[in-house]
Amino acid sequence: MDLAIVNKKPNRRLLVVEDELGLQELLKDFLLSKAYEVLVAADLNTALRLIQSQNFDLIISDVFLGSERRGGIQILEAARSLSTPVILLSGNADVDILKQSVNLGCNYFIEKPFSMTEISSAIENVFNTDSDFQTKIQVFVEEFSLSPREAEVLELLAKGLNNREIAGIVKSAERTVKAHISMIFRKSKTSSRTEVLSLLFT
């Protein structure tokens, strides 16, 4: 089935775009258990049609959709025109796709395989910070006197990218990215990404 809709009590409305039907079903069931209204699409064309005809509070989409396996970019382009936040499932996406996704305003990346806890945390972060994400970044940067490159790394870290992905986007060695993250930890008196994100989004 390419399209399914299941309603729970009125709540935020989510679109899940995933062509791996087993994973699609897992995501749908989990989100329904959290009382979201969920629509699912198994292909790019169905997803684009839904985005153009209906309103969503959030889109969760695989990056690799369509014949060219770059459908996540088209999802982002369609969502951007409507100011709809997007979480991308980015299993082994190349640097060019990640950079383009960041430039198009992807709110959060989750690398496959992932846990439902990661999905839940990402959704919470997006809904809690979508309207003032840049403001929160700027406040954090100023409060802890981060350098411009540390600020850039912080923003990508806050979007869920791992060290390798960040290194590709900022065109730096992975060990340099690790050094920047260590400095962010030191300046903010934190010791993990989780602590940084908690401080950033609180």
* Mean per-residue pLDDT, 163-173: 93
Does one domain contain both 23 and 104? yes
Rounded Cα distance between 57 and 97, Å, is 24
Note whether 63 and 97 are within 8 A (CB): yes
- Look at the chain and count its residues: 202
Q: Which amino acid is at 35?
A: A
Is a pLDDT exceeding 50 seen at residue 8? no
Which structural domain, as residue segments, surrounds residue 191?
Answer: 132-201
Enter the tokens of residue 100: 């383009």
Is a pLDDT exceeding 80 seen at residue 67? no
CB atoms within 10 A of CB 115: 9
Domain count, the chain: 2
CATH code: domain of residue 54: 3.40.50.2300
- Over pLDDT 90: what percentage of the chain? 69
Higher pLDDT, 4 or 149: 149
Is residue 122 situated within a structural domain? no
Is residue 176 situated within a structural domain? yes
Higher pLDDT, 95 or 188: 188
Does one domain contain both 13 and 105? yes
CB atoms within 10 A of CB 140: 21
Does one domain contain both 75 and 151? no
